Every structure is written in C-alpha cells, then in structure tokens.
Amino acid sequence: MSYVWRSILKGLEVLKEGLIWRIGDGSNVNIWKDPWLPRGVTRQPSTHKGDCELEMVTELIDTSSFSWNQALITQHFHLDDVPLILSIPLRAQSEDFIAWHFDGRGLFSVKSAYKVHVEMLKREQSFQVGQGSVAIPVSTEVFKKIWKVQCPPKTHHFLWRLAHNSHPLYMNIARRGVELDTRCAVCHKFFEDGGHLFLNCKFAKQRWRGLLLEDVRLKLLPCQSALEMLEEVLDLPEKDKLLTIAFLWNWWQERNRGNHGENYQSIDRSSTQYVDTLMNGPQ
Ligand SMILES: [Zn+2]
C-alpha cells in the first residue's frame, strides 16, 4: 500500500475515533454499536447487550415528555452507564447528528485530531507489547520498583504484565481481533478489562472491603492506565503495598481457576493468608 493511501486510512481512523453522535430523536443511533456516550474510547455503553431487545436510542426516550425514560434505562443498563445516559441533553424535534467529541462545540480541528492520533498510537503500542513485538515503554524506575518488591519471581512477572496491560483478559484478547464472549470470567456481567476485573467487579470489591483495602481501591479507581495503577500500588506504604499485591495476584489466580459465574464461591482468606499464599503458594 502506498504511503498516501496509508496516511488517508490512518486519517480516517483518527476521524472515526473522535466522532460522537449528538442525540436528537435518537432514531439514527444504535445503542450498542454507535459512539454516543461521552466517555472512554468506544463511547458505547459498558453494559453488555445480552438478550436485551432494545436497539435504537430512540427507544430510550419517552415520546410524550421528550425526556429519557429513566425507569427503562435503570432497568437495562449498568450503574456506570445510567447517570451518563441521563446527563445527555435531548434536542426535541431535531435529527441526530455527528460531532467531533474533543471540542465543546463539536467542531473538528487539526490540533485535537493530532491528540487523538497520539492517544491511538499509545494504545496500539501497549496492545502490541502484550504480543512482545515492540520495545517496552515502562520506565526503568518502575522496573526497579517491581523487582524490589519482596515477593517470589513469578509475582514480579505478574506485576510486569500488569504494567503492560498484557494479561489475557477477555477485552485484551478481543482487541487482537479474536471473537469471544468478553464478559467478566467471574461475574459474567460486564466487559472484562483490567479496570473491571481488579477494581470494579462486585466480587473483587467484596475482597477489597474484606481486606480493609477499600481506601486503596478508591485511590486506584481514577487511574487512566494499568501502568498508572501499578505505579500507585508501588508507592503505597509497605504493608498496604504487599497486601494489595498479594490480593491482585491471588485474585488473578482465582479468576483463572474457573470457579466462576453462577457457581462462583467466595473463598474467605485473612490478610495473613493472602500474603502467605503469595510467598509460599497455595496451602
Ligand atoms: Zn466481574
């Protein structure tokens, strides 16, 4: 492919990444496939469609009052999505239209397109790192901190992969073009990315609370990337750091063991047992 064509295609990808539907009557916008929520990269709901029969955004709008049908939205969407949907302004008697997400007025500019392009490159790089194909962008400082943690080498390796977001989470596999069910292996409800599995999954939340680490979880929640999250963890006071690492490592093992979904059984462990398992393997 010629350079010119490659540039044009790249330009189109950038354009697509930056577009968002502004809702008029919602009849042109597909709830599950179109970008319409002002959040994240896909700008789509985090709720999984499952067997929900709703298709177009217009079905979520109460036509008599021309406002969002709150009851219906609460019934069908994940808690993270509900306030976001309800915050979207509706434009009575106007058609849906496509706008540029990165400008308050929806206007496209080369400067903001450039920013989107840089973000795309960063993401592509972090996905490829999982496949071991490009140089590792993690600083030597983080590298040293990982290796200083007093834990077995297998856990260093686990943290290393966490820094690169290269664990085979279902969303990571799907991004590499594999078609699969991307719902969380534990709760079977939401897309399984690192943020969900380690921080937001309701079963993980129970563990954080049980280990009195809820403060730590809340501190990690706003992190924008796996690397940023790991850097926060590595900067925690020694005791919290070890327990958090012990939890993350154990939680990943538990997720992989396959006792998931309907049959998921919570295994109660004390903080000491968590750290013991990290250091010495399962009892
Ligand atoms: Zn889950």
Ligand 1 centroid distance, CA of 203 (Å): 7
What are the residue ranges spanned by the domains of the chain? Answer: 19-100, 138-280
* pLDDT at residue 31 in the model: 92
Note the pLDDT of residue 7.
62
What is the crossing angle of helices 202-210 and 238-257, to 10°?
Answer: 140
Whether the CB-CB separation of 51 and 67 falls below 8 Å is answered with no
Question: If the chain, 283 residues long, is cut into consecutive pieces of 10 residues, what is the mean pLDDT of each piece?
Answer: 59 70 88 83 82 91 88 87 86 79 70 69 49 50 87 89 87 82 85 91 92 94 88 93 93 76 60 78 59
The single-letter code of the amino acid at 33 is K
Q: How far is CA 60 from CA 32, 75, 141, 190, 250, in A?
A: 13, 11, 49, 20, 41
278: CA distance to ligand 1 center in Å? 22
**Ligand 1 mean position, distance from CA 224 (Å):** 19
Say how many Å lie between the CA of residue 139 and the centre of ligand 1. 30
Q: How far apart are CA 199 and CA 23, in angstroms?
A: 31
Q: For residue 5, what pLDDT is reported?
A: 60
State the pLDDT at residue 1. Answer: 52
pLDDT of residue 268: 66
Q: Report how far ligand 1's centroid is from the alpha carbon of 251 (Å).
A: 12
Element (H, E) at 83: helix 82-87
Distance 11 CA to ligand 1 centre (A): 35
Q: How many whole angstroms from 140 Cα to the centroid of ligand 1? A: 32
Distance 181 CA to ligand 1 centre (A): 13
pLDDT at 2: 55
